Structure 1
């Protein structure tokens, strides 16, 4: 753009382009200075500029991206929103039962997250769900009040059952959910040995098929749950063992991130029928656990697309309450207390992964203009003719002609009839033709189907200092979409179509699909890289990503900071806790390499080189120090740049 031409771009246009008003649900916005802000309490509450958080993290604690920002007040607000939604629905429907939510620890087992959820949910009698022995031990230690509810799912051996019964002895409402028929005998045996009366639930295998990426969580081929035949058999066994009075709960789960509310309604009604029928069999049930499934609208489209949801949290609560009440009234059975295991909906929004774009890979490099005069290579002359397009040929014809010449250049080069500089010019001119074609198509507003992927092919690649496999595993493994946006410069128009690649040595370490209102984008418009650090935020990453990341290429856990609102602070926040990412030494320890052993091995090699006069003694000392220093450093890149300054407030 010429210097004299002033852009009418604004921060609000950036907010619309990156989808902040849609997927942000009032929690994320852009201010007039072009900074991305988080509003933990919603659109009417105070805001925090994420750029200011980064600046303080570096200036005060020496922590730089890749870095996870946990907005703890937003986490607390999500707990409140869920409980308030169910309480309003119960009041509006005149429902005689209560709501007792639990947080499934598997969604994010980090201590700071679990503690914050329990603290925020204390007034609502919010509990926990465990799916393994380690998770059960966490839950038992964290639930410290009589009557605290703990739902025990997953495969259970006798040790698991003993730990659960320990919780019952301490006065907790611990419910062992039978998910496999073989668990019935184990619970009977261990409860007799310990002399503790268990509290038991049945997980039912619904006929309703799930929907979305986790659709197989329900249906006939589901991994967990009892069939109707097994429920009848289990009920008889428990009655014979004089434990019929211990059956307290019916449970179902139709998968995480259910996008369609109709699927939830059908599942709730079927599960409510199981509840009514089991009560009629003489069991004094107290709870109906509707499991997880409450989604997150990752793309903001409010549709039944797998990365979205066509309902809101209040709608979800109303539909659950209404349908349970309706079925119970029809069967003339008292309504149960409702339990839900909503994990993703609670924790996903509170976490932001921040990475720095440190380099770019371009398709069309700047090349020197050919000197005038002399005979041009025929192939290059043909490409120049296609590029100039003086005859006004259509997009498809130009593209096909250019593709033919590109293939011809590759063949001539392979046969030795084309030198490398000419091949390079041919490739560059091909991409210039493609860029010209795509620009004109966008201007016209119609792109032929054959050329729909042209924009993605032309996109630059921004190299970002992080690992997809460590911090965005669901994107790689399940094609999960996460909203992405720059943290600064939102008042400048983004002009570069780009995809993102990480620093692992793996071709799959990339992000090439992005959220969009109507479809999936295959590139994202970003700003040109300059001298100042360019930070990108990956949003709604608080569910599963923290705990499921792997150590591909030995990139470990990133730095982490916990942020709280604070009116008395100049910037409206304070950093309550910091957690340093793994050092190289710590990561190597996971795979049985001890830093001290590695250092001794290197010292032995350096001593040998010194005795052979390959290196001088002082140089050998410096080389060993370099090696030991690298063991202490973080596993990610350490770009040399000055600390970021806090943005000026308006």
Structure 2
């Protein structure tokens, strides 16, 4: 059990707390599901990019799925081998492409014909041969929140089947491109297996058609997106997930790459915030806390639900909005949430905050970002100190 009160007293609030043991358990459950097949688990760094988190997964044998050159650098700094690093993302700058090629990572995931042209041109300038994969958009409804759906033609990600085939032929015939993989990712927080299986079948069929014209790919990248339980969702078991992918790939000898993020970190993370006071506007009850949308924006951005635990509190619960100090009506951590009477300095634990929490934070309202803590067995350590005012203004001060 994590002693949240002791952590809050030692490190202050707002505070992010990560259970590294739980992260390891999640990683190993997915690794076990693909046991017996060539596979790489490439942690999706965007889910939680703290260097200590990335290093934790690297020490478990993870690769890294990166969507900026900054994330590629983080992965390398944290000890992820370059041959397990993938550079994805729809809008790569020339300097990012150049650095990725020079860093000799596993491959660049290409998301458009225009991007393929840029990669080829830059590789030619470098006198290099760039390993690439192409992200295929299978036009499958992932049945998730529209903001995190990525596999429909309405989404900006990937290319449709005919364009992908044309791009692979171009890459095959190029002296500066080496097509090594094929990729799809239909969305995040996926809780239904059927769309994943349908997408895998479509992309596996494309892979077979490429093999028929002597384009031999080594990697079948299934993306990530496995959902987790925030409230009462029914989630996909890793074994069932793996079996669906393997059945789609029947008869094809490739290395499977999986890019889990939220699955590994979401329920291993907690956001601690202290109550400042209660406020009642007629019929509306507010619990004012020191955490805000700049610390955890998911509720404001996605109307996301997070379970809230009022530590060591009892009494008759009533509905309240949990709101922060940021000067926006959209600054809330929960709406209409049942809570007992709260007093100054009471502690709330926001659960399932390990993915897309700190990383989506900001300094809005000149608020320093929270500290981050790792808990591993009986050991607790600071993995990012709390920002102070000097940190927030550091890049502006010299220009006054």
TM-score for both structures, normalised by structure 1:
0.57
Per-residue deviation, 1:594: 6.4
Corresponding residue SS for 1:199: strand
Paired with 1:292 and 1:74, the residues of 2 have a C-alpha distance of 18
- What are the residue-to-residue correspondences of 1:547-558 with 2, within 5 Å? 547-558=359-370
CA contact (8 A) 1:127 1:143 kept: no
Per-residue deviation, 1:100: 0.8
Does 2:319 match 1:474?
Answer: no
Aligned to 2:237: 312
Aligned to 2:160: 227
Does 2:51 match 1:111?
Answer: yes
Paired with 1:317 and 1:481, the residues of 2 have a C-alpha distance of 28
Paired with 2:329 and 2:120, the residues of 1 have a C-alpha distance of 52
Q: 1:29-73 CA distances to partner (integer Å, 9 max, x unpaired)?
A: xxxxxxxxxxxxxxxxxx333234334x2xxxxx21111112222
Aligned to 1:287: 219
CA change 1:142–1:558 in 2 (3 A) is: closer
2:122 is matched with which residue: 190, 209, 212? 190
Corresponding residue SS for 1:362: strand
Q: 1:178-217 CA distances to partner (integer Å, 9 max, x unpaired)?
A: 2110223333333333333322211112121232114641
Aligned to 1:523: 337
Corresponding residue SS for 2:330: coil
2:4 is matched with which residue: 35, 38, 50? 50
Q: 1:227-263 CA distances to partner (integer Å, 9 max, x unpaired)?
A: 233223223322332467x211110110111232221
Paired with 2:171 and 2:373, the residues of 1 have a C-alpha distance of 49
CA contact (8 A) 2:137 2:186 kept: no
Does 2:385 match 1:561?
Answer: no
Aligned to 2:85: 150
Aligned to 2:287: 462
Aligned to 1:252: 184
Corresponding residue SS for 1:470: coil
- What are the residue-to-residue correspondences of 1:284-363 with 2, within 5 Å? 284-302=216-234, 309=235, 311-325=236-250, 329=251, 334-362=252-280
Corresponding residue SS for 1:82: helix
2:330 is matched with which residue: 502, 508, 523? 508
Paired with 1:582 and 1:157, the residues of 2 have a C-alpha distance of 30
Corresponding residue SS for 2:153: coil
Greater CA drift, 133-142 or 334-343: 133-142
Corresponding residue SS for 2:113: coil
Paired with 2:305 and 2:150, the residues of 1 have a C-alpha distance of 20
CA contact (8 A) 1:353 1:537 kept: yes
**What RMSD in Å do the two structures reach over aligned CA positions?**
2.4
Paired with 2:383 and 2:150, the residues of 1 have a C-alpha distance of 37
CA change 1:221–1:525 in 2 (3 A) is: same
CA contact (8 A) 1:68 1:558 kept: yes
Paired with 1:362 and 1:187, the residues of 2 have a C-alpha distance of 58
Unaligned runs of 5+ in 1: 1-46, 58-62, 92-96, 303-308, 365-457, 514-521, 566-572, 598-650
CA contact (8 A) 1:133 1:160 kept: yes
Paired with 1:203 and 1:301, the residues of 2 have a C-alpha distance of 28
CA contact (8 A) 1:101 1:341 kept: yes
Paired with 1:300 and 1:500, the residues of 2 have a C-alpha distance of 21
TM-score for both structures, normalised by structure 2:
0.91
CA contact (8 A) 2:189 2:227 kept: yes
Paired with 2:369 and 2:273, the residues of 1 have a C-alpha distance of 13
Per-residue deviation, 1:477: 1.2
Does 2:131 match 1:199?
Answer: yes
Per-residue deviation, 1:564: 2.1
CA contact (8 A) 1:500 1:510 kept: yes
Q: 1:499-555 CA distances to partner (integer Å, 9 max, x unpaired)?
A: 211112222212443xxxxxxxx32132x2357x31000111111221111222222
Paired with 1:236 and 1:561, the residues of 2 have a C-alpha distance of 48
Paired with 1:74 and 1:460, the residues of 2 have a C-alpha distance of 35
1:536 is matched with which residue: 312, 324, 348? 348
Aligned to 1:138: 74
Whose Rg is larger?
Answer: 1
CA contact (8 A) 2:277 2:343 kept: no
Paired with 1:175 and 1:501, the residues of 2 have a C-alpha distance of 43
CA change 1:578–1:198 in 2 (3 A) is: closer
Per-residue deviation, 1:312: 2.5
Paired with 2:244 and 2:383, the residues of 1 have a C-alpha distance of 40
Aligned to 1:4: none
Paired with 1:504 and 1:138, the residues of 2 have a C-alpha distance of 30
CA contact (8 A) 2:275 2:348 kept: yes
Per-residue deviation, 1:356: 0.9
Paired with 1:471 and 1:144, the residues of 2 have a C-alpha distance of 28
Per-residue deviation, 1:107: 1.8
1:84 is matched with which residue: 19, 32, 47? 32
Per-residue deviation, 1:464: 0.8
CA contact (8 A) 1:76 1:117 kept: yes
CA contact (8 A) 2:373 2:382 kept: yes
- What are the residue-to-residue correspondences of 1:401-420 with 2, within 5 Å? none
> Could you say which structure has the higher helix fraction?
1
Paired with 1:255 and 1:336, the residues of 2 have a C-alpha distance of 23
Runs of 4+ in 1 over 6 A off after TM superposition: none
Does 2:41 match 1:101?
Answer: yes
